[in-house]
Structure 1
Amino acid sequence: MIILNWIELSIHTTNDALEPVTNILNEIGTNGVVIEDPADLSREKRDVFGEVYELDKTKYPNEGLIIKSYFLQNDRWAETLEVIRLRINNLKQYKINLGKNKMTTDIVKEEDWENEWKKYFKPMKVTNRITIVPSWEQYKKTSQDELIITIDPGMAFGTGTHPTTILSLQALEKVIQPNDLVMDVGIGSGILSIAAVLLGAKHVYGYDLDEVAVSSSKQNRDSNHLENEITIKQNDLLKNVDKRVNIIVSNILADILLRLVDDAWNNLEDAGYFITSGIIEAKQQFLIDKLLNTGFEVIETNQYENWVSIIAQKKINSR
């Protein structure tokens, strides 16, 4: 077995810079992002749904937040780091407050990362019906209606506990009908695809450009014994995809969602739903305008902390 080394790049910045910096890291090819935000220490959601792990206060900054990003260690890393530094510094011309804008690096072995998750990631109820359970934990249902998703985050970092994922899960619960066909664009660790099947979908087609996410989501799909219900492929959003489904769900950055709207329209059945999440408040109206101009009707918007999700519907004969 080949053990990979990963570069952990930590960027101490601000909430204002969170989305543009994360977008830069994604475009350059990060294999995962973790946000260490001191607001996590006092979020009410832990009291509502249940704690994931005990947070170590000493790892959180007193001001701003820390974005941790992971890249495979190779001989091009120094060049990659310089590109990241230049692009982030370039954000100043757009009057984005970068705060301390301090970058540090460390080397993390893959097995060390996995062991760290096993120490801290515990079962967590993320909606009224869905509980996320790590693959190494034993867990018994607390009610007959409870739905269990078994997850091994690996290097895709998706545990289902982020506000944008919870918003997506809640939206799926509202609109999904038995035997629906679903697309999950930006599948990550596969949580939304698995949830869709457990909620009644007949089949889910999952797409992600990141090969690490594709591998992780396939592993989680198989751990939940849903090989026949979920098809996963590497793809750039919905480019060259031509299917008709009842629901498309996408939990990615707002700027990328803007590029997805037209293809989502073309792949939805009439009256189908387009669920989007991963949107900061400042970008909400841009996406709503794009949805409306394309012919969608915005059914509802929901907010969790500083994040927004939108449920839109493809109206019959609206174009």
Structure 2
Amino acid sequence: MKWSEISIQTTNEAIEAISNILHETGASGLVIEDPQDLITAKESPFGEIYELDPNDYPEEGVRIKAYLPVNSFLGETIEEIKQAINNLLIYDIDIGANEVMLSEVNEEEWATAWKKYYTPVKISKKITIKPTWEDYTPVSSDEIIIELDPGMAFGTGTHPTTVLSIQALEQYLKNNDMVIDVGSGSGVLSIASALLGAKEVFAYDLDDVAVKSTKENVKLNHLENQITAKQNNLLDHVNVKADIIVSNILAEIIVRFIGDAWENLKDGGLFITSGIIQNKKQLVKDKLMEQGFEIVAINEMEDWISIVAKKV
């Protein structure tokens, strides 16, 4: 079978949105080539355990690659992707150079090419994310291993927005907490919550591909009894009182359901938000405070922000 590799030159800010567009159009095996990784891999206090080749990375911006089956609809699919990316400008998302290139690869090449990017990575004091095909021996007795198959959805969980979210969960989540994950993607935040001690987790995503990916990764980690994944638009019609709501999506989306998050949190509950680019920090902070939230912490990694807010 023939596959077409679509390569998009864009910005760090647009990664989450373009990744979602690609998955909605049926792309597989997403790869993000961010030259910042060449620096942070060396500086990481958690010791990322893989070697990166600078030749694989763009000199400016970031490169997102995904794979589409070559069929009679490929041309239309590519045009849909291009149009959807251009439409991100409506939401003031910087799409950078927005250069789109195509190349053809064989199925055997596709099946192995993207796996070289994914090896076990320790992303917090306790949590290591391990691709299913890699062997890994925990280095400490309290290390938590998350099994993930990046081929099914949204990367390995090592993007700064995800790392910030997991670090916040590790710091604030208590045993037997109830958690809601809004925009679950691959389910990595839901899985982290359950493994950190959450009694029950509700994972919601509007994209049915993401819901399926969450369910598959939940099974890989044997957490079916703790995590419920459903297709849902943000917190519409959700009536659950949670101790923590976590959401790693675009700032423009976060501000749309701050009121619903307030209603679905217990008094004293925490709203952990990530996916916020630097220039949208004040927007999200102001909206949270307008709702009545108290800002507990603001954490930064590269150009990304995570805000922890408390319902008081």
The yes-or-no answer on 1:23 pairing with 2:17 is yes
Q: Give yes or no for the alignment of 1:121 onto 2:115.
A: no
Provide Cα deviations, 1:152-211, integer angstroms capped at 9, x if missing partner.
112313312111111101111121111110011111111111111111110101111222
Q: 1:137 aligns with which of 121, 134, 138?
A: 134
Tell me, yes or no, if the aligned pair for 2:31 and 2:155 is still in contact at 8 Å.
no
Name 1:309's counterpart in structure 2.
306
How high is the TM-score relative to the length of structure 1? 0.85
Match of 1:217 among 200, 214, 217: 214
Task: Kindly provide the amino acid, as one letter, of the partner of residue 265 in structure 2.
Answer: L
Query: What is the rounded CA distance, in whole Å, between the counterparts of 1:51 and 1:177 in structure 2?
Result: 27
Letter in 1 for 2:17: N
After TM superposition, the score normalised by the length of structure 2 is 0.87
Residue of structure 2 equivalent to 1:51: 48
Structure 2 match to 1:297: 294
The answer on 1:288 being equivalent to 2:282 is no
Distance in 2 between residues matched to 1:172 and 1:95, nearest whole Å: 29
* Counterpart secondary structure, 1:43: helix
Corresponding residue for residue 35 of structure 2: 38
Q: Residues of 2 paired with 1:229 and 1:8: CA distance?
A: 37
CA shift in 2, pair 1:289/1:73, >3 Å: farther
Q: Deviations over 1:64-103 (max 9, x none)?
A: 3223355666655434433544565577899987654321
2:57 corresponds, among 60, 84, 91, to 60
Corresponding residue of 1:177: 174
Distance 2:306 2:140 in 1: 28
Whole-angstrom CA distance in 1 between matches of 2:188 and 2:144: 12
Note closer, same or farther for the CA distance 1:13–1:229 as it changes in structure 2 (3 Å cut). closer
Return the alpha-carbon distance in structure 2 between the equivalents of residues 122 and 67 of structure 1: 18
Q: Which moved more, 1:165-174 or 1:253-262?
A: 253-262
- Aligned mates of 2:88, 2:194 — CA distance in 1: 41
**Cα shift readout 1:207-226 (whole Å, capped 9, x = no counterpart):** 11222222222111111111
The one of 271, 276, 279 aligned to 1:274? 271
* Cα distance in 2, alignment partners of residues 108 and 125 from structure 1: 32
Letter matched to residue 224 of structure 1 = N
Residue 101 of structure 1 corresponds to: 98
Bigger drift between 189-198 and 34-43 goes to 34-43
User: Residues 3 and 110 of structure 2 are in contact (CA less than 8 Å); yes or no, is this contact kept in structure 1?
Assistant: no
* Higher deviation after alignment, 221-230 or 66-75: 66-75
- Counterparts of 1:301 and 1:189, CA distance in 2: 24
Alpha-carbon distance change, 273 to 42 in structure 1, aligned in 2, over 3 angstroms:
same
Where does the alignment leave 5 or more consecutive residues of structure 2 unmatched?
none
RMSD: 2.9
Report if aligned partners of 1:52, 1:121 keep a CA contact under 8 Å in 2: no
User: Helix, strand or coil for the counterpart of 2:309?
Assistant: strand
The CA deviation at 1:142 is 1.4
Q: Deviations over 1:232-278 (max 9, x none)?
A: 11112111211111100011111111122122111111111100001
Task: Indicate the residue corresponding to 1:261 in structure 2.
Answer: 258
Quick check: 1:9–1:68 contact (8 Å CA) kept in 2? yes
**Identity among equivalent pairs (%):** 54
Within 1, Cα distance between the matches of 2:270 and 2:226?
Answer: 20
User: Does the alignment pair 1:81 with 2:81?
Assistant: no
> What letter matches 1:171 in structure 2?
A
Deviation at residue 42 of structure 1 after TM alignment: 1.6
What secondary structure does 2:63 align onto?
Answer: strand
| d(CA) in 1 for partners of 2:311, 2:207 | 28
1:26 Cα deviation after fit: 3.5
Kept after mapping to 1: 8 A contact 2:21/2:85: no
Instruction: Supply the AA of the counterpart residue of 2:120.
Output: P
Q: Is the Cα contact below 8 Å between 2:240 and 2:264 reproduced in 1?
A: yes
The code of the aligned residue for 1:62 comes to E
Structure 1, unmatched stretches of 5+, are: none
Match of 1:162 among 151, 155, 159: 159
The residue number in structure 1 matching 2:246 is: 249
CA spacing shift, 1:230–1:292, aligned 2, 3 Å: same
